[in-house]
Amino acid sequence: MKSLELPSGSIVLAPDQVPDSVYVLRRGYLGIFDRLERLMTVVYKEEPFGLEAIFDLKTFMYAKALIQIEVEMYDPDEFLQSLRSSSRVDLLRILSRRIQHVKRRYHLKADERMRDLIKDFKDNGLSNNEIRSMALNFSVSDALAFERVKGEFGV
Amino acid sequence: MISGQTLLKRGEVPRSFFLIKEGTFRLGSELFKPGSFMVAIEYLLEESLESDVVAETDGIVVKYDKSDITSNDEEYRSILRYLVELLSGSLMKQVEIEVIGDFERSVDVAKIAEMIDETEGEEEILSALEEMLSIQKLPDLPDTPKKAKAVVEMVSKEEDIIRYVLHRLAFVKKFPSMKESREYILDVIRTYMDEMEDRYGAMYAIKIVLLMYPNDDELVREALRRGAKISRMNKDPEWFEYLIRFLVRFPEEEVSMDEIS
């Protein structure tokens, strides 16, 4: 186990990398940001992050120090084995809380968003032809969502 | 379980969670296939379900609770892996992640540091951070375009640049077909990028242009150029898509790499 102090703004984990250690935040606050630098969730003191290291998974988010922090770095397997049974559920709860935060930020799924958009177009008096020609300029993901839901509005 | 059978009802707080062995199950718009855990998060956080859990096909599920988690290493590892995969984004990427309908700002770490310095007490800091995680809403405007415009024009950029852009965005969202919306959205893109250096805000406005004004050449031209530039600054491979869309849309025009670097 190694202990590190890092200044505010330090990036501890970056996207598209498999972390080499599991980290536990001992002091300060750390933010988990997505690629567009939106704050998705916060890691609190005594909480671990970088758990992707245990399963050789890539992380898709940034972990950035919000203020000066102190972290401990653990070998992934050692960290897992050191968890007492009472801490196991706590760890799962911590992850669940983080997942809920992230899900809430991404809460608008493509189909729901596209339904709202088509409804807006119709409310603004656009014809089916006009809506279809707008859809030609959609991104691939929006275009696929459009194809899935357009039938619900008779477009 | 038999196809069509309801496993759990909307509003229930699950007393256990489930691993799907066979068949397909649905929770709202999410489908769960063999190997997936279902309602693990709601169980652990003791939250009520937002939809019924229904068997789409005949299936078999295994029921778990905390004693199962603590007593069995292999099962613990597989549950942990499931949650870590969700969090690492590998499952999240299957969900569309472009959020346009609600406004979210990027966060300046230096500003957070300043805020934490000025705030006393851990609880206050944590609740301030939690507040930042909630979605910021656009201001409410009057229902008639004339009155709404009057409200928007009263907000001065010099006094409060953030309210300035938010009010213009609110007008665009509420009255997209008014000619003022066209001027406002262009103003918002330029303000975000050139004056506030807020790439995320600019991207949000660019996406509004591409979705809502695809036939307006002037708006689309500016949106695609700036979209390419911001994507490159963010080291996002999407920049290439913006450039191609520009070249396809305006085949007579050129884009120099200086413009988008």
Asked if residue A142 and residue A93 are part of one domain, the reply reads no
Asked if residue A101 and residue A30 are part of one domain, the reply reads yes
CATH architecture of B6-94: Sandwich (2.60)
Task: Judge whether B123 is closer than 8 Å to chain A, CB to CB.
Answer: no
Asked if residue A97 and residue A35 are part of one domain, the reply reads yes
Asked if residue A139 and residue A88 are part of one domain, the reply reads no
Residue window 65-124, chain A: list those with CB within 8 Å of chain B: 65-67, 80, 85-86, 88-89, 91-93, 95-113, 116-117, 120, 124
Q: How far apart are CA B227 and CA B244, in angstroms?
A: 11
Asked if residue A88 and residue A122 are part of one domain, the reply reads no
The pLDDT, as a whole number, for residue B105 is: 46
Task: Judge whether A129 is closer than 8 Å to chain B, CB to CB.
Answer: no
The pLDDT, as a whole number, for residue B101 is: 38
Asked if residue A25 and residue A65 are part of one domain, the reply reads yes
Q: How far is A2 from chain B (nearest CA, A)?
A: 23
The answer to whether the CB atoms of A51 and B84 lie below 8 A apart is yes
Task: List chain A residues with CB under 8 Å of B132.
Answer: 39
Residue B104 confidence class, pLDDT cut points 50, 70, 90:
very low
Task: List chain B residues with CB under 8 Å of A105.
Answer: 99, 104, 133, 135
Q: How far is B59 from chain A (nearest CA, A)?
A: 26
Residue B93 confidence class, pLDDT cut points 50, 70, 90:
low
Lookup: tokens for B40: 């693990």
The domain limits of chain B are: 6-94, 98-137, 138-260
Q: Which of A105, A129, A145 is the last residue of a domain?
A: A105
DSSP per position, chain B: --TT-EEE-TT---SSEEEEEES-EEETTEEE-TT-EESHHHHHHT---SS-EEESSS-EEEEE-HHHHHH-HHHHHHHHHHHHHHHHTTTGGGS-----SSB-----HHHHHHHHHH--SHHHHHHHHHHHHSPBPPPP--SSHHHHHHHHHHS-TTT-HHHHHHHHHHHHHH-TTSHHHHHHHHHHHHIIIIIS--HHHHHHHHHHHHHH-TT-HHHHHHHHHHHHHHHHHTT-TTHHHHHHHHHHH-TT----HHHH-
User: What is the mean predicted confidence (pLDDT) over B110-139?
Assistant: 64
Strand order in the sheet with B17-22: B37-38, B17-22, B60-64
What percent of chain B lies above the pLDDT cut of 70? 77
Residue B107 confidence class, pLDDT cut points 50, 70, 90:
low
Lowest-confidence segment of A132-136, B54-58, B146-150, B242-246 by average pLDDT:
A132-136
Asked if residue A86 and residue A12 are part of one domain, the reply reads yes
Task: List chain A residues with CB under 8 Å of B13.
Answer: none
Residue window 188-217, chain B: list those with CB within 8 Å of chain A: 200, 203, 210-211, 214-215
| A43 against B184, higher pLDDT | B184
In this prediction the ipTM stands at 0.70
| A106 against B82, higher pLDDT | B82
In tens, the pLDDT along B212-234 reads 888 889 999 999 989 888 888 76
Residue B261 confidence class, pLDDT cut points 50, 70, 90:
low
| Chain mean pLDDT for chain A | 82
The pLDDT, as a whole number, for residue A106 is: 56
Residue A125 backbone dihedrals phi, psi, to 5 degrees: 85, 15
β partners of residue A48: A24
User: What is the mean predicted confidence (pLDDT) over A21-40?
Assistant: 82
Interface probe with B: pick from A68, A88, A114, A133, most Cβ of B within 10 Å: A88
The pLDDT, as a whole number, for residue B110 is: 64
Asked if residue A149 and residue A84 are part of one domain, the reply reads no
The fold adopted by the segment(s) B138-260 is 1.25.40
Task: List chain B residues with CB under 8 Å of A117.
Answer: 211
Asked if residue A133 and residue A59 are part of one domain, the reply reads no
A140 pLDDT higher than 70:
no
pTM of the model: 0.57
Q: Determine the structural domain holding residue A139 and report its residue range.
A: 110-153
Chain length of chain A: 155
Asked if residue A95 and residue A45 are part of one domain, the reply reads yes
B152 pLDDT higher than 90:
yes
Q: How far apart are CA B169 and CA B188, in angstroms?
A: 7
Residue B120 confidence class, pLDDT cut points 50, 70, 90:
low
Domain count, chain A: 2
| A52 against B92, higher pLDDT | A52
Q: How far apart are CA B248 and CA A93, in angstroms?
A: 49
